[in-house]
Amino acid sequence: MTACVIEASAGHEDEDVIAPSGCTLTADGAYGARLASAGGSWFPERWTLDGPEPYAVPLPRNQPEEPGTEVQPMADGRVLIHRVVAGRHAFSLLYPTGPGTGELPLGAVECPDGTARLRLLPPAPGGERAYALAVGPRATSVWLVAGGAFGPERLAELPGRCSGGVWLDRSGRLLALDRETGGHTKSVVVDLEAGGEVSPLLQIAAESDDRLLLADHDSGLLIVRSDAPSPGQYRLGWGVLGSSLPVRFPECLRVRDCSVTPFAIQPGQVLTPESCAVALRVDGPTGSWVGVWRPAERRVHHLRAPEGWLAGAGLWTPEGVLRLPYATEAVPCGVAQVSPPPAAAPDPGAATGPLPEREPAAPATPATPATPATPAAEHSAQPADPSAQPADPSAQPAGSSIQPAGSSARPAEPPAPSAARPVPLQDAPLGRLVTN
């Protein structure tokens, strides 16, 4: 089946898309997929990660794949592949069949003039469906490309150019996108089960560019990027769904001469977002390494990445162990288990929630399109000097360790579970959150 994208892009690059990692993981971390190379040829490779030892299965076809071909693992172990052929975006499912590779064609999305930009969205919760984003100069479409009944299906069309893509619930219904309209970018929510109904999600200030990078379903922790605290300079910040506290932009997340990209949030920390560990990819002049940050600690732990780390790929266990896939000549499929320093114990009697700032601003009233919230001055309890030299990732902090998967290292003790749940999205609009 071939479908048609109505809006074609006029060669307008999407500069807001974060560079993809070297390996894509399912939401539960059971499978991974990447485009591997051997002898100058590229082929899909599936990683199985939920067993006692990780292992890879190559899925080559009759001819090599083009560099940049997208692959994504599905929950049943098959691998979705996205190829561009003569202006058509073709989708198929690959699976091992004894010594060979089977392929199930799903259909294609045809783009007028072959100029539309279409990419896969991050793996959806559940892993039974896969989605893609087609970006045009005036509109953006969300496509169901795997898991549907009749091939690719357009689910929603939004005015404006969209980037990003963060799932906000466990059912794969609510998708957050960063939409550019009127010269500014704001995050919106697309309800894929309500005909693509769109509603505002994140608006810190009227003139700011506000993007959602990560969201955790258990704690409600959100990681955002915005230039609200310093126009023209993008900063990483954090907020909480349903909280009346403003969005915070910690100084410790600014590392001189380095780019910092969050890629995973520790799950299972119900109603304790300030204790969630956030994994960061830090790219600097000397290479890439891993950072670990918790909102309550106001500091970043810089850790060595395993040799051959597929940079930007990884996920947390609820117990606080970071699993990082890597590939070397000696170990073509490996997973390193990184145990960062444990969270600092709070002072006895300290109130739960984010630590107060030196000069906290009063929470603003809910923002509306007519009266947007105005950002307050940005402060930090213990601001780090942004001009300081980047941390040396080769100096391993005390209390941290890196172990290969299957080793006898004991993970950190899990936190005590809580029976409470975060405020549902529909009852916690992020328009209430402003910069502090």
How many whole angstroms separate alpha carbon 114 and alpha carbon 225?
32
Helix (H) or strand (E) holding 324: strand 322-326
pLDDT tens track for 46-71: 999 998 999 999 999 989 999 989 99
Q: Is the pLDDT of residue 245 over 90?
A: no
Residue 308 CB coordination number (10 Å): 18
Mean pLDDT of the residues in the chain: 80
pLDDT tens track for 184-195: 999 999 999 999
- pLDDT number for residue 147: 95
How many whole angstroms separate alpha carbon 68 and alpha carbon 308?
19
Q: Is the pLDDT of residue 243 over 90?
A: no
Q: Is the pLDDT of residue 405 over 90?
A: no
Distances (CA, A) of 413 to 147, 301, 405, 417: 38, 19, 18, 12
8 A C-beta contact, residue 235 and residue 229: yes
- pLDDT number for residue 40: 86
pLDDT tens track for 273-303: 999 999 999 999 999 999 999 999 989 999 9
The angle at the Cα of 221, spanning 162 to 213, to the nearest 5 degrees, equals 25
The angle at the Cα of 428, spanning 138 to 17, to the nearest 5 degrees, equals 35
One-letter identity of residue 378: E
Assigned token pair, 176: 């957050």
| Lowest mean pLDDT across 44-48, 184-188, 336-340, 365-369 | 365-369
pTM of the model: 0.79
| Lowest mean pLDDT across 55-64, 265-274, 388-397 | 388-397
How many whole angstroms separate alpha carbon 44 and alpha carbon 48?
13
Q: Is the pLDDT of residue 74 over 50?
A: yes
| Lowest mean pLDDT across 33-47, 212-226, 295-309, 420-434 | 420-434
Higher pLDDT, residue 352 or 258: 258
Strands 2-4 and 100-110: parallel
